[in-house]
Amino acid sequence: MNWQISELVGSEASLFLKAVQLGMEIVFLYDLLRIFRRVVLHNVAGEIVEDLLYWILVGYKMYLLLMTENAGGLRFYIVLGIGIGCILYLNSIGKFFVKKVSGILIKIKYKLFRILYKGKRRAEVPLIKLRNKYHTFQKWADIKKRKNYQLMKKKLTQFCKMIKIVLCKQ
Of 129 and 50, the structure prediction assigns the larger pLDDT to 50
- Check residue 28 and give its pLDDT: 94
The answer to whether position 154 is within a domain reads: no
CA dist., res. 149 & res. 63, Å (int): 77
The answer to whether position 118 is within a domain reads: no
- Check residue 1 and give its pLDDT: 47
The answer to whether position 33 is within a domain reads: yes
pLDDT digits (tens, 9 = 90+) for 139-149: 766 777 777 77
Domain count, the chain: 1
CA dist., res. 158 & res. 69, Å (int): 99
The answer to whether position 137 is within a domain reads: no
The answer to whether position 58 is within a domain reads: yes
The answer to whether position 114 is within a domain reads: no
pLDDT, mean of residues 117-140: 63
* Range of the structural domain that residue 71 is part of: 2-92
Measure the CA angle with vertex 74, ends 73 and 76; round to 5°.
140
